[in-house]
């Protein structure tokens, strides 16, 4: 009987192999062949999961963004029942700091993605979706703080 393979788990393992390479050599230094070797699979097996490097890059970017969001959401959920906007913002911002190996790799890989997004339309589209949402969330927390009298109203702006 053939071995049952969890395709989503394999795609995640491949994305983690990509991140390990990208954290030291950037995304342009991560060929499909290099990623396959890092993941411990053949190039043909990798191409079973991702037909192109661009497809693999986009999947890995979306995954690293989900993992970061999950990590920050968990930090917020661990706060008091009704956290203040300051507590929420602090949890978000401290969750973005490279304080351990995983978050350091995430930061380096994120920087590599932003550099590549300048010339890559699919990656740029992903960034153009996520960044405004994060900015709007932060601005909403600042407005909530101003409404509660915890921040001068002139500080509760999109620019702040």
Instruction: Output the pLDDT for position 38.
Output: 96
Give the C-alpha separation, 104 to 2, whole Å: 39
The predicted pLDDT at position 149 comes to: 92
* pLDDT for residue 3: 65
**pLDDT tens digits for range 88-118:** 999 998 888 888 888 888 888 888 888 888 8
> Model's pTM, two decimal places?
0.81
Per-residue pLDDT tens for 33-42? Answer: 999 999 999 9
Q: Which residue segments constitute the domains of the chain, with CATH numbers given? A: 7-155 (1.10.357.10)
Burial of 100 by CB count in 10 Å (0-12 exposed, 13-18 middle, 19+ buried)? exposed
What band does 2 get if pLDDT is binned at 50, 70 and 90? Answer: low
Residue (of 95, 106, 97) closest to 71 by Cα position? 95
């Amino acid at each position: 009987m053939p071995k049952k393979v969890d395709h989503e788990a394999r795609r995640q393992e491949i994305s983690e192999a990509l991140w390990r390479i990208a954290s030291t050599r950037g995304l342009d230094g991560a060929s499909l062949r290099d990623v396959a070797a890092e993941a411990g699979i053949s190039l043909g097996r990798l191409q079973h999961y991702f037909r192109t490097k661009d497809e693999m890059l986009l999947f890995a970017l979306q995954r690293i963004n989900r993992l970061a969001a999950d990590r920050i959401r968990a930090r917020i959920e661990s706060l008091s029942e009704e956290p203040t906007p300051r507590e929420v913002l602090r949890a978000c911002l401290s969750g973005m700091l490279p304080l351990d190996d995983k978050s350091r790799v995430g930061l380096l890989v994120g920087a590599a993605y932003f550099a590549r997004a300048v010339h890559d339309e699919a990656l740029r589209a992903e960034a153009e979706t996520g960044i405004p949402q994060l900015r709007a969330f932060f601005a909403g927390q600042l407005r909530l703080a101003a409404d509660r009298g915890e921040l001068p109203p002139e500080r509760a702006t999109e620019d702040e």
